[in-house]
Structure 1
Amino acid sequence: MSEAIQQPNYFEFYGLPIQFNPDQNAVKAKFYALSKQFHPDFYANESEEKQQEVLDLSTLNNKAYQTLSNPNKRLKYVLELKGIVATDEGYQLPQSFLMEMMDINEALMDLEFEPDAEKLTQVKRDVEAIEKGLKDELENLKIQFDQDPEKSEALLPSMKDNFYRQKYIDRIRERL
């Protein structure tokens, strides 16, 4: 297992609780406030160390905002922050899901050899239905997590599983 890289806690930096759906107005307000506070022009007469420190904080602020304002980046970030998802992890998807994907992959292979607009439309519909199911499940888990952070740890394995199934679907989407 590779050593986890300690990444900055953007929620802590913004003074917000760790959530999958943080208040976006609060995120934006904090971003603008810190952008002003750490603007390099205000530190032009400071020492090089101080200028570098302000530049680092300004960069951290930009990264925090990019992550916390984007639902997909935020999902991955929170799961990594909680130590649930590792960058180069080989995650074992559930057998039932893999069987379902095998059918879709076989249909896609058939379509490469014998293009069929009707069959392609059906495969796209199947993939969209799976995707919608995953998104609905994830939204439900996010809401539960944000409402009750004390019991939220128990939800993380399900969220991790959903995250990796979604990644698999994204790869299939690229082939469609």
Structure 2
Amino acid sequence: MNYFEFYNLPVSFNPDAGLVKQQFYALSKKFHPDFYINHSTEKQDEVLELSTLNNKAYQVLSDPQKRLHYILELKGILTEGENYSLPQDFLMEMMDVNEALMELQFEPDAVKLENIKKEVEKIASAMQLELDRLFIAFDAQNKDAEATILSAVKDLYYRKKYLNRINDSLLKLE
């Protein structure tokens, strides 16, 4: 059973946070191990498993990045150990940023560092805007366009992962 089914919610990149929390609390109460102390070992094990599932579901569904990853896996778009190729134009743009970061390691310059940070933030904001647009399109439940939407989301997911590594490098230079 997937987390959305467990919470009786449609698969969505933007589930209602209040409903997610409401389901979490309701299921936490329903599957609290203390309420099953006098039951059989099998029942206690089952309840413990459901309680664990509830906690994992809440962690994933309440975190946008984990939820994004989960939906892509759930839909079979993202596979473990996949060797995804990012578009050449994006890689060239990131190569320029990486070269500038390498230069800053040898010759620190606060102004250049700030400019790079602004450029990376601009790229990240544009990606997030596009992701938000795709999330709305996906949540509209247009099954004909789902594969195309998920493919575009996957591409942005990998771009964001790459950008996160650059942000880590920026933090080290500060």
TM tier, shorter chain? over 0.9
Query: How many angstroms apart in 2 are the aligned matches of 1:148 and 1:35?
Result: 30
- Matches of 2:17 and 2:160, distance apart in 1: 24
Matched position secondary structure for 1:57:
helix
Normalising by structure 1, report the TM-score: 0.93
Q: Which amino acid aligns with 2:3?
A: Y
Alignment of 1:62-101 (within 5 A): 62-101=55-94
Structure 2, gaps ≥5 residues long: none
Q: Does 1:22 align with 2:15?
A: yes
Aligned to 1:166: 160
- Match of 1:33? 26
Measure, in 2, the Cα distance between the counterparts of 1:88 and 1:134.
23
- The range that moved more, 18-27 or 53-62, is 18-27
Alignment of 1:109-148 (within 5 A): 109-148=102-141
> Displaced runs of 4+ in structure 1, greater than 3 A?
none
**2:74 aligned partner, one-letter code:** L
CA apart distance, 1:149: 4.0
Cα distance in 2 for residues equivalent to 1:156 and 1:74: 13
CA distance in structure 2 between the partners assigned to 1:23 and 1:110 by the alignment: 45
**Cα drift, residue 90 of structure 1:** 1.3
Asked if residue 57 in structure 1 is aligned to residue 50 in structure 2, the reply is yes
Aligned to 1:155: 149
Q: Which of 88, 92, 103 is matched with 2:96 structurally?
A: 103
Identity %: 60
> TM-score scaled by structure 2?
0.94
Task: Return the alpha-carbon distance in structure 1 between the equivalents of residues 113 and 16 of structure 2.
Answer: 40
Unaligned runs of 5+ in 1: 1-7
Q: Distance in 1 between matches of 2:14 and 2:58?
A: 13
RMSD of Structure 2 on Structure 1 (CA): 1.0
Q: Distance in 2 between matches of 1:155 and 1:13?
A: 24
